[in-house]
Amino acid sequence: MDIWLLILIVGVLTFLIRFSFIALVGRVGLPEHLQRALRFVPAAVLAALIMPELIYRNGVFSPIRLAAGTVAILVAWRTKNAIFTMTAGMIVLWVLQGMTGV
């Protein structure tokens, strides 16, 4: 699919998510069950996006990525600082790639 079309579709859907209740107010609220389920969306989706990336590189197990990702998770947990987290992860990745020549 054309990348512009893809961007446009995601853009429209994202707008509809944002606009939803602001547009409909007074008529409907968010059901309690849905609200409670939505709370888990970021934790579950981000985990599903992150974990395979930390374990595989092009479908092969990558200890370097796992090490870099583990360091980043620890830094995020201790500091809650985005810049420290990303910098630490990239530095570990580059150092290990340099050492192993991968």
Which residue in 32, 60, 77, 101 binds other proteins (CB under 8 A)? 77
Match 């530095």 to its residue by tokens.
91
Q: Is 95 in the site for other proteins (CB under 8 A)?
A: no
Cα 47 from Cα 87, distance rounded (Å) = 20
Mapping DSSP to helix (H, G, I), strand (E, B) and coil, where does residue 43 land? Answer: helix
Q: Kind and range of the H or E element at 86?
A: helix 82-100
Nearest in space to 97 (alpha carbons), one of 64, 57, 66: 64
Tell me the closest approach of the beta carbon of residue 71 to other proteins, in angstroms. 10
Q: Which of residues 8-47 bind other proteins (CB under 8 A)?
A: 8-11, 13-15, 17-26, 29-30, 34-47
Tell me the closest approach of the beta carbon of residue 38 to other proteins, in angstroms. 5
Q: How many residues bind other proteins (CB under 8 A)?
A: 66
Query: Which DSSP state fits 61?
Result: E
Residues contributing to the site for other proteins (CB under 8 A): 1, 3-4, 6-11, 13-15, 17-26, 29-30, 34-56, 59, 65, 68-69, 72-73, 76-77, 80-83, 85-86, 89-90, 93-94, 97
